[in-house]
Structure 1
Amino acid sequence: MFAVQIAAAAGANAIGVISDETKRDYVMSLGAKGVINRKDFSCWGQLPKVGSPDYDTWFAEARKFGKAIWDITGKGVNVDMVFEHPGEATFPVSSFVVKRGGMVVFCAGTSGFNITFDARYVWMHQKRIQGSHFAHLKQASEANRFVLDRRVDPCMSEVFGWEQIPLAHMKMWKNQHAPGNMAVLVNSPRAGLRTLEDVIEAGR
């Protein structure tokens, strides 16, 4: 959610990759220029052994995914950067579809940490791989400023009182939460207060 909005705020053209078709309109509403459903492709998981029949099948599907990107960017126009967090399931494709000289930035490994990729397409095309654990303090402050200035929507789907924390956890556990973020009020009398000054004023 934030990656799409920050990319748009910076003047980039974000493409969202979803696994649930019901999220397409939501991602577009955040500023994406296009959306691709990864369930339309079967090139996910660790990279098969190079030269094997399984690799040939993977390669054909990865190219098909790349062509879906071209449907958004224009024929032959690969993406400058891939920002990803699934890791093991998606990294082989991410490192394949990013443009020559482009970068894959990953911030997690939610599908697994044993990341694989075809090294030939990285060294021969001078691609870069960058790990990221969000930001340093200055960057975090600037990202927060985007929210305060309403250039980035925090995408709050639901706000809970402190006593409702178990309900919030249950919704996450059962995957019943709406798209977006959930938050819990801490020392705030009500939702919608944007600054410390607002909270102090509301508490008087």
Structure 2
Amino acid sequence: MLDNRPPEVFESLDLPDTYAAAHLRAEDTEMFRDAADKDVRKSLRVGPVEMPEPAPDEVVVAVMASSINYNTVWSATFEPMPTFTFLRNYAAQGGWAARHDRPFQVVGSDAAGVVVRVGSKVSRWKPGDHVVVHPVHVDEEEPVTHADAMLGTEMRAWGYETNYGGMGEFAIARASMLVPKPPHLTWEEAAVVPMCGSTAYRMLVGPNGARMTQGDVVLVWGAAGGLGAYAVQFVKNGGGIPVAVVGSQRKAEAVRRLGCEVVVDRSEIGLSDDPDPSPEDTIAAGKRLGRIIRRETGSDPQIVFEHVGRATFGISVFVAGRGGTVVTCGSSTGYHHAYDNRYLWMRLKKVVGSHGANLDEAARTSRLLSQGGIVPTLSALYPLERAAEATRLVQNNEHVGKVGVLCLAPEPGLGVTAPEVRKRIGPERLNPLREFAPASSL
């Protein structure tokens, strides 16, 4: 087990020629062409891949734990396009980028672990450092990245639009993607935060999103999921009033554990599983939802936290209060949204697009974690060899919060280096959703 040994121990470790990782194969990209069920357990493999040579500005991380994000579902279903297309386009730049065009792709956009190698141009990090990997891969020489990395034309999602992501025994990351691991967290707790936690922070808190203020009523769709469970916490921590929309009583109980007092079941507003509701159904559901929110909070929502997409976007635009903001970072039910534009322009509402987070936003998210302001949303946990099963759980929307994957960590509960902080915050507070894991979880 890699722990708090001195840096020279890590510098002297021999890296293997291959390592175990959850990966896709280019030869499989057509396997779901006529399939009714694009079961990711058929495409996502766990086995040996080649260890690449790190570039001068990169580090090699021994990955203790990772987690499942929805982009791994997209990758493993080869939709909306095979991610090998991204790898080929990136590799065409030549130089170190050429390593990414391989017949395999190591997926995973989250990781927590130990630095074991640093490139010749890396000065801030050293072997032995405990880190989490922030999954935004940018060109630091592009001027706009110094204002906001998410505006860079070369911004890529690590482990989705690049190779050698976080769901393996090792990962390759740029030094500019690292954030110190909160020392009071276990490996698996730390690993479920970077992508979803920082994305929710940017959407709600920072200057690039909806700019939530104290007292704001915030409607959170999918509040029991990976993104939504962090959104609920940011709203509560910032003095707002979260209103959660969930799909079951089990998920309603989960968001209540996160401190959300106003919880709406989708069935209460007549929202079916139809990803393409009619305009009449959209307005009717919006009216029912608006009445519930006003009854429980006294006002329409100032902010709507959107990532569901086609099935809910029209309702979001309708239900947001006058002058309110719909902030969106995704479209899991479809990218082409329909809404009644009268409710946008005549009531002076705004739609804000948000994608990922820059490194400063990731660091601020980590600071809130270290202070105990927000906590990890880990529920289910699986070993690396069962990564496909873990991804299937997310694909079927059967999960609560985040689904973690143990990689090199031999068991849960390791990696804590500040036990006094953990004791002060309370281990039970740090794991509010663990009891919602399925029986198949660790």
What's the TM-score, normalizing by structure 1?
0.80
* 1:21 corresponding residue in structure 2: 249
* 2:401 corresponding residue in structure 1: 180
Change in 2 beyond 3 A, CA 1:163/1:107: same
- Asked if the contact 1:17–1:37 (Cα under 8 Å) also holds between the matched residues in 2, the reply is yes
* 2:412 corresponding residue in structure 1: 191
The secondary structure found in structure 2 opposite 1:79 is coil
Query: 1:142: Cα distance to partner?
Result: 1.1
Tell me the distance in 2 between the aligned counterparts of 1:42 and 1:182. 29
Tell me the distance in 2 between the aligned counterparts of 1:173 and 1:92. 24
- Asked if the contact 2:303–2:325 (Cα under 8 Å) also holds between the matched residues in 1, the reply is yes
What's the TM-score, normalizing by structure 2?
0.39
- Asked if the contact 2:286–2:316 (Cα under 8 Å) also holds between the matched residues in 1, the reply is no
Change in 2 beyond 3 A, CA 1:162/1:22: closer
Query: 1:145: Cα distance to partner?
Result: 2.2
Change in 2 beyond 3 A, CA 1:194/1:4: farther
- Asked if the contact 2:285–2:315 (Cα under 8 Å) also holds between the matched residues in 1, the reply is no
Tell me the distance in 2 between the aligned counterparts of 1:46 and 1:35. 24
Tell me the distance in 1 between the aligned counterparts of 2:389 and 2:284. 45
- Asked if the contact 1:87–1:113 (Cα under 8 Å) also holds between the matched residues in 2, the reply is yes
- Asked if the contact 2:368–2:374 (Cα under 8 Å) also holds between the matched residues in 1, the reply is yes
Q: What is the letter of the counterpart of residue 403 of structure 2?
A: M
The alignment's C-alpha RMSD in Å is 2.5
Tell me the distance in 2 between the aligned counterparts of 1:131 and 1:42. 27
Tell me the distance in 2 between the aligned counterparts of 1:194 and 1:4. 27
Tell me the distance in 1 between the aligned counterparts of 2:407 and 2:341. 47
Q: Which of 58, 68, 75 is the matching residue for 2:292?
A: 68
Q: What is the letter of the counterpart of residue 12 of structure 1?
A: G
Q: What is the letter of the counterpart of residue 250 of structure 2?
A: T
Change in 2 beyond 3 A, CA 1:133/1:78: same
The secondary structure found in structure 2 opposite 1:94 is helix
Matched, 1:10 2:238: yes
* 1:97 corresponding residue in structure 2: 319
Matched, 1:146 2:365: no
Q: After the TM superposition, which residues 28-177 of structure 1 pair with which residues of structure 2 at under 5 Å, given as runs?
A: 28-42=256-270, 46=276, 48=278, 55=280, 58-74=282-298, 77-172=299-394, 177=399
Structure 1 stretch 161-170 or stretch 28-37: which is displaced more?
Answer: 161-170
The secondary structure found in structure 2 opposite 1:152 is coil
- Asked if the contact 1:43–1:93 (Cα under 8 Å) also holds between the matched residues in 2, the reply is no
Change in 2 beyond 3 A, CA 1:149/1:188: farther
% identity of equivalent residues: 31
Structure 1 stretch 61-70 or stretch 151-160: which is displaced more?
Answer: 151-160
Tell me the distance in 1 between the aligned counterparts of 2:305 and 2:322. 16
Q: What is the letter of the counterpart of residue 262 of structure 2?
A: G
- Asked if the contact 1:148–1:194 (Cα under 8 Å) also holds between the matched residues in 2, the reply is no
* 1:52 corresponding residue in structure 2: none
Give the length in aligned residue pairs: 188
- Asked if the contact 1:168–1:182 (Cα under 8 Å) also holds between the matched residues in 2, the reply is yes
The secondary structure found in structure 2 opposite 1:35 is strand
Larger Rg: 2
- Name stretches of at least 5 consecutive residues in structure 2 with no aligned partner: 1-228, 419-442
Tell me the distance in 1 between the aligned counterparts of 2:319 and 2:343. 9
- Name stretches of at least 5 consecutive residues in structure 1 with no aligned partner: 50-54, 199-204
- Asked if the contact 2:242–2:260 (Cα under 8 Å) also holds between the matched residues in 1, the reply is yes
Greater relative contact order: 1 or 2 (C-alpha under 8 angstroms, separation 6 or more)? 2
Tell me the distance in 2 between the aligned counterparts of 1:48 and 1:165. 37
Change in 2 beyond 3 A, CA 1:124/1:175: closer
- Asked if the contact 1:43–1:62 (Cα under 8 Å) also holds between the matched residues in 2, the reply is no
